[in-house]
Amino acid sequence: MEKIINQILDLPQMLNQKLPKNCFNEMMDNSEGSVSDWTGKIFKVGALVVLVGMLVSVITGGMDAVNGADGAGKVAAGLCTLILIYAAFPIAQVVRSAGDSLAASKSGMVDFVFKDVVVESIKLFGHIAALTALFGAICSLVGWVLGSSGMMAGADLHEVFEYLYGLPAAAMTAFMGMLGLGFVDGVIEGFLNWDVTGSEASGYTIDGALAVGWEFVQVVIILAKLYVVLAFYHFFWGVLNTFFNWIKSPYLPFKSS
């Protein structure tokens, strides 16, 4: 009787094993270990989408700029179009590199989600912003030399930055407030909102040359913001990781005599 009951209970497993091309259970069992690989593939697809989207946008925008300009403006628009087509490839490679880094991660699920993905996302948007600002500055230089505005490179990443940069910055300001250093709040906020651009680079004047120069300076500032925020996040992740490890195995950091 017991043997018959066991055979009935094992019937689903036996039939499942006999199904042709049935690898779905193995896929589910290995799904957690494949998260990093699938995340990397998503970023790689994203890199292709970014590349195609940028090329289409730059080419169509460049054609409109060339057709709407006259004289030196056509030359400036044409050169800036070529520059921005060139820029699409290193910008897409930034996304691809983030995917490769995540795919190669050997971290556990918690470290992967709350450290690797967050850090790579912060670096990704920071590097894209820096490259966008750099090629925008080059286009401004071309437009200034030719006495035309040409085309500008831009990426509306402000809301993304507020979210990715805001959490580590808010944590640091709260931590400083606990230490009685509340004035640091204004310093951090001012630094993350620091923008030295604004005036248009036009005409062979000192003001025009300075406007172009400040756009190149802004690239350095963007990278500085990125590395400061990364330092904040690594600091707090280290603190939280140490705290959680202590919770799992609590001890008092005192030497017994």
Read off the pLDDT of residues 24-68 as tens digits, 9 standing for 90 and up: 455 555 555 577 888 888 899 999 999 999 899 888 888 888 887
CA separation for the pair 89, 58 (Å, rounded): 12
Contact status, residue 69 vs residue 146, Cβ threshold 8 Å: no
Mean pLDDT of 197-207: 67
Q: For the whole model, what pTM was predicted?
A: 0.77
251 confidence band (pLDDT: 50, 70, 90): low
Q: What is d(CA 31, CA 43) in angstroms, rounded to the nearest whole number?
A: 18
pLDDT at 192: 74
pLDDT score of 196 more than 90 = no
Instruction: Please say if the pLDDT value at position 16 is more than 70.
Output: no
- Are the CB atoms for 91 and 50 separated by under 8 Å? yes
CB 77 within 8 A of CB 93: no
User: Is 245's pLDDT higher than 70?
Assistant: yes
Q: How many residues does the chain have?
A: 257
CA–CA distances in Å: residue 208 to residues 71, 147, 197? 20, 10, 12
- pLDDT of res. 220: 92
Share of the chain above pLDDT 90, in %: 13
Q: Which residues of 200-229 are buried (b: 16+ CB within 10 A; e: fewer)?
A: ebbeeeeebeebbebbbebbebbbebbebb
Please report which confidence band the pLDDT of residue 90 belongs to, taking 50, 70 and 90 as the band edges. Answer: very high
CB 160 within 8 A of CB 183: no
- Among residues 98, 119, 117, 105, which one has the least CA distance to residue 47? 98
CB 82 within 8 A of CB 58: no
pLDDT of residue 153: 52
Q: How far apart, in whole angstroms, are the C-alpha atoms of residue 195 and residue 189? A: 12
How far the first Cα of the chain sits from its last, in Å, is 66
pLDDT top residue among 20 and 43: 43
pLDDT for 246: 74
Interval 8-24 mean pLDDT: 56
CA distance 35 to 120: 15
**Most confident segment among 15-24, 98-107, 206-215:** 98-107
The pLDDT of 74-101, averaged and rounded, is: 90
Residue type, 115: K
Please report, rounded to a whole number, the percentage of residues in the chain having pLDDT higher than 70: 65
Sign of CA dihedral 136, 142, 145, 150: negative
At residue 77, the pLDDT reads: 85
In order of 104, 119, 145, 173, 250, the CA distances from 244 in angstroms are 25, 19, 57, 22, 9
Average pLDDT score, the chain = 77
Give the tens place of pLDDT for each residue, 140-174.
Answer: 888 888 876 655 555 545 455 556 666 666 667 66
In sequence order, what DSSP letters do the residues of 53-73 get, joined into one string?
HHHHHHHHHHHHHHHT--THH
What's the pLDDT score for residue 98? 92
Name the more confident of 122 and 8: 122
The first and second tokens of residue 223, run together, are 């990278």
Confidence of residue 217 (pLDDT cuts 50, 70, 90): very high
At 41 the pLDDT is 87
Tell me which of 233 and 180 has the higher pLDDT. 233
